């Protein structure tokens, strides 16, 4: 509900909520919106749905092709994590449909996708394509957790030059499709370690030198120059300097997984996030939900604590999505109020009645109620619309970027008051107009969803009315 002040009673349009008087300020309308509590879909944050979780049958792949889980609040991205061998079964022959088909279901809804292509799995022999071994790449047979000459699975020697050459070619092909693609939220450095998680605990158990892991980081950095890359926290088990090295290449942190073990081992690497979260979004993946519950590791308050300590922007849905939503709706709601950024309009004011000859001052008060900065940034715009919803005027404050709003503990976000002065276009007509507010590009294009009601379908939110009188000169 919005509160308003004016000298008279404000009328409401089809799109505007009835405003209730709060207090008087001469010749200005003041509104104090409340956060509507809804999950927001915004760039560089949100829930990521595991469509594939290595094994192609988990988890979104069981959904009907028309089911994009639209009811999941805050779902912004579908995550496709699968073996390299499913995409390049024959050298130089790429079968991208395995990712393109599901990806397009969510892209059609305006959401994004993210990828991990793995080189080692504990459920199939060749996550790295068999033809790579046949080309001369060295590797190891294993039974999960140990080297085993007769083991059923194969892990490459991650420093082998043949393996690295073939991986280089694959990443070049992937980058040609996805680097800089606006539909792609991020790509994991997934070519090292079992499940692409940056460790060999469930494969050969071999400790790999830090320099080898850096080779893989370098290959991704070579090909992906525009799309966000993530480095897995478990790279740190191969050397303390690996994660800082990845950060120096412009990568962010991903932690697989939290809540795998009961307390006090719920997660280990929140400290690694401190160097990167002020600049880039941190990605968290929780343990397979059912497994975590069965092990009594699923503790909701610790889940929320991890979001706070990592300053997380992305959180996985690492389970069957409908079942997870049904079981954890309250937790999802709690997470949505803190995950990533949450740009709140605390107050806005404008002249109640003004002449086209005058310059007007528009004022507002903002806060970021999330745990992370608004990485894409955005500028505040006031838009005036006529009774038919036509855009009549747009006023953008280019001096203030919401990227600079500070984050803080729950309910302690500092507020920032901003003012801007604007003049009307010389050809504008007088009238009484609906006042909308938005955050987005410098030209007034909205890009950031706000937790406000009365949206026009384009991320503009109706606050009240302004009367614009004829010129007096």
Q: What is the DSSP string of 360-371?
A: EEEEEEEEE-SS
Structure tokens at 16: 């505007």
Note the pLDDT of residue 19: 40
Structure tokens at 7: 């000298």
The model's pTM: 0.93
Q: What is the pLDDT of residues 367-407, one digit of tens each?
A: 999 999 999 999 999 999 999 999 999 999 999 999 999 99
Q: Find how far residue 334's CA is from the centre of its chain.
A: 17
Say how far apart CA 472 and CA 209 lie, in whole Å: 77
Q: Find how far residue 428's CA is from the centre of its chain.
A: 39
Q: Is the peptide bond before 264 cis (omega within 30 degrees of 0)?
A: yes
Using only C-alpha atoms, the chain has a radius of gyration, in whole angstroms, of 26
Note the pLDDT of residue 17: 40
Note the pLDDT of residue 450: 98
- How would you label 352-372 residue by residue, b for 16+ Cβ within 10 Å and e otherwise? bbbbbeeebebebebbbbbbb
User: Which whole-number Å values give the CA distances from 241 to 121, 217, 236, 237, in the listed order?
Assistant: 26, 12, 7, 10
- Name the 3-class secondary structure at 177: helix
Give the end-to-end CA distance of the chain in Å, rounded to a whole number: 39
Structure tokens at 78: 């579908």
Say how far apart CA 69 and CA 169 lie, in whole Å: 35
DSSP 371: S
Pairing, β 3-5 against β 28-31: antiparallel
Cβ proximity of 49 and 58 under 8 Å: no
pLDDT tens-digit profile, the chain (473 residues): 233 333 333 333 333 443 433 333 349 999 999 999 999 999 999 999 999 999 999 999 889 999 999 999 999 999 999 999 999 999 999 999 999 999 999 999 999 999 999 999 999 999 999 999 999 999 999 999 999 999 999 999 999 999 999 999 999 999 999 999 999 999 999 999 999 999 999 999 999 999 999 999 999 999 999 999 999 999 999 999 999 999 999 999 999 989 999 999 999 999 999 999 999 999 999 999 999 999 999 999 999 999 999 999 999 999 999 999 999 999 999 999 999 999 999 999 999 999 999 999 999 999 999 999 999 999 999 999 999 999 999 999 999 999 999 999 999 999 999 999 999 999 999 999 999 999 999 999 999 999 999 999 999 999 999 999 999 86
Q: Is 81 left (phi over 0), alpha (psi -120 to 50) or beta?
A: beta
User: Which whole-number Å values give the CA distances from 225 to 178, 276, 407, 457, in the listed order?
Assistant: 10, 18, 28, 33
Say how far apart CA 317 and CA 292 lie, in whole Å: 13
DSSP annotation string for 230-266: EEEGGGGGG-TTHHHHHHHTT-EEEEEEESSS-TT-S
Structure tokens at 258: 């939290």
Note the pLDDT of residue 62: 87
User: Which whole-number Å values give the CA distances from 284 to 82, 281, 448, in the listed order?
Assistant: 18, 10, 22
């Amino acid at each position: 509900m919005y509160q308003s002040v004016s000298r008279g009673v404000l009328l409401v349009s089809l799109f505007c909520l009835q405003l209730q008087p709060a207090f008087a300020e001469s010749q200005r309308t003041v509104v104090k919106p409340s956060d509507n509590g809804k999950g927001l879909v915004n760039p560089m944050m949100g829930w990521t749905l595991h469509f594939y979780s290595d094994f192609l049958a988990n988890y979104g792949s069981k959904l009907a092709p028309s089911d994009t889980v639209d009811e999941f609040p805050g779902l912004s991205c579908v995550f496709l994590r699968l073996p390299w061998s499913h995409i390049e079964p024959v050298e130089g022959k790429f079968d991208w449909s395995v990712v393109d088909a599901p990806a397009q279901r969510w892209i059609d809804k305006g959401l994004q996708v993210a990828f991990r292509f793995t080189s080692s799995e504990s459920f199939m022999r060749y996550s790295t394509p068999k033809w790579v071994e046949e080309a001369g790449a060295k590797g190891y047979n294993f039974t999960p957790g140990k080297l085993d000459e007769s083991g059923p699975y194969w892990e490459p020697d991650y420093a082998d030059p043949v393996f690295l050459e073939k991986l280089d070619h694959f990443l070049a092909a992937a980058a040609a499709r996805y680097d800089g693609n606006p539909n792609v939220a991020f790509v994991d450095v997934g070519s090292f370690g079992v499940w692409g998680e940056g460790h060999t605990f469930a494969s050969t158990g071999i400790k790999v030198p830090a320099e080898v892991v850096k080779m893989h980081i370098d290959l991704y950095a070579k090909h992906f120059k525009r799309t966000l890359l993530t480095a897995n926290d478990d790279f740190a088990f191969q050397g303390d300097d690996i994660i800082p090295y990845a950060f120096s290449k412009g990568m962010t942190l991903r932690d697989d997984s939290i809540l795998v073990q009961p307390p006090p081992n719920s997660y280990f690497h929140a400290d690694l996030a401190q160097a990167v979260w002020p600049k880039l979004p941190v990605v968290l993946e929780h343990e397979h939900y059912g497994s975590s519950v069965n092990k009594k590791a699923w503790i909701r308050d610790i889940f929320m604590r991890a979001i706070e300590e990592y300053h997380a922007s992305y959180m996985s849905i690492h389970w069957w999505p409908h079942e997870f939503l049904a079981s954890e709706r309250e937790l999802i709601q709690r997470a949505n109020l803190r995950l990533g950024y949450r740009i709140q309009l605390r107050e806005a004011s404008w002249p109640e009645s003004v002449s086209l000859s005058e310059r007007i001052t528009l004022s507002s008060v903002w806060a970021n109620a999330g745990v992370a900065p608004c990485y894409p940034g955005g500028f505040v715009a006031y838009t005036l619309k006529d009774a038919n919803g036509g855009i009549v005027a747009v006023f953008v404050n280019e001096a203030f970027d919401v990227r600079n709003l500070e984050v803080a503990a729950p309910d302690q976000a500092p507020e920032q008051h901003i003012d801007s002065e604007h003049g009307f276009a010389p050809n504008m007509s007088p009238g009484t107009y609906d006042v909308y507010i938005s955050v987005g590009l410098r030209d007034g294009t909205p890009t950031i969803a706000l937790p406000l009601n009365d949206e026009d379908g384009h991320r503009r939110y109706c606050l009240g009315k302004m009367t614009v009188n004829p010129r007096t000169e």
